[in-house]
Every structure is written in C-alpha cells, then in structure tokens.
Amino acid sequence: MIILGVDPGLTRCGIGVVEAGAARRLSFIHVDVVRSDPHLSQDLRILRIFQGISAKLDEFSPDAVSIERVFAQENRATVLGTAQVAGLAMLAAAQRSIPVALHTPTEAKLAITGNGQAQKIQVERMVTRILGLNTLPTPADAADALALAMCHALRPSGALQGGEREQHLTAAQRQWAQAQAQAQRGRGTRRGM
C-alpha cells in the first residue's frame, strides 16, 4: 500500500510518500515540499499548491492520502491557510477517488514515537530511523508529511478488542488506539450535553 502524507501549509506544503508492506514494514519512496511565493496573491498561491499536490498524486498514484487535521491556533492567518491547503489536498484526492484520512499531530507523534507529546526533533529522528534514511528530512514540513503517511500505515485497524488483534499491535499502537477511543468517548459526552 502506498500512502502519500500531506503537511498542509500555504508557503510550504510537505509531501511524503511511503510504502507499507507486509507486517507494516515501511519503505521510503519520496519526500518533497511544494512551495508558493508569499508575494503572490492568495488565489495564485492556492493554485500553485493545488497543482503541486495534484502532480504528486499523479506521479505516485497512492492508495491513500493522509492529511494533518487542522486545529485551532493562535494565528488566524496561519490556520486559515493551513485549512485551505488541507481542503485542496482532499479535493485533489477525491478527484482521483483516493481515500483520505485526517490525523492530528498528536496521533502522528504517538504512532511514530510512542509519545503524543514528543518534540519535533524526536519525530524527525524516528522517521529517519524507521525509514532507514541517511539524513533527517528537511525542512520540518517534509518530515511531518512522512510522519503523517507513516501514522496512517501504522494506525490500528479498528478499536481494541483484546485477544489476537491486540497481540499484533506495538505498544505505541495500543496506546494510540486507547487514546483514540478515549477521545471518541469524550466527543460523545460533549455532544450529549
């Protein structure tokens, strides 16, 4: 299974491609950053990023696209641009009938390092180690895109139900599945209020 990860950003949009083989063995395929010139008008910047994402989807024909889930940040301009680019990635994937998954930075950190609060450098080092790279992927957007693709590949299939399924999960995957289940229970509780 080939997975293309997208770390959305209007100036730099990270793209990482990995292959998940048997026993969830991960292989590096590609990493890059699609850029737009901050001096261009917003519409032209969005067009440039969309064209770049579309070109990567056409080049690698992934089986799935894993995109960072946009969350509220203090800087509205940053979150708006990030949300726009996440939408572009979803649109480009949908046009090609490629399934899309959204993962939070915490989910990606947990899947890669076993710690949802890991620092960026820890994630970069684990991405490098797991994929057998000689150097850290740069810039950080590139490493984040690879982490998102890897996160999707390593995600537990379904909720934890004990028994055989649990035995096939790594400690980080078990912890991640438990955190997901807890978050879903929390969302259900808030909806009921």
- 96-136 pLDDT, tens digit per residue, is 999 999 999 999 999 999 888 899 999 999 999 999 999 99
In this prediction, residue 149 carries a pLDDT of 96
> Per DSSP, what are the bridge partners of residue 6?
15, 67
Binding residues for Mg(2+): 7, 68, 141
Residues belonging to the binding site are: 7, 68, 141
Instruction: Work out the angle at residue 91's Cα, subtended by the Cα atoms of residues 60 and 124, and round it to the nearest 5 degrees.
Output: 55
- Residue-wise pLDDT tens digits, 137-180: 988 899 999 999 999 998 765 333 333 344 445 555 556 666 66
Residue 129: which H helix or E strand, with range?
Answer: helix 120-131
| Catalytic center residues | 7, 68, 141
Asked if the model's pLDDT at residue 10 lies above 80, the reply is yes
CA angle 95, 24, 28 (to 5 degrees): 65
Question: Whole-model pTM?
Answer: 0.79
Instruction: Please report, as a single letter, which amino acid is at residue 95.
Output: Q
pLDDT digits 0-9 by tens, 46-97: 999 999 999 999 999 999 999 999 876 666 767 888 999 999 999 999 999 9
Tokens of 173: 């995957």
Name the DSSP letter for residue 115: -
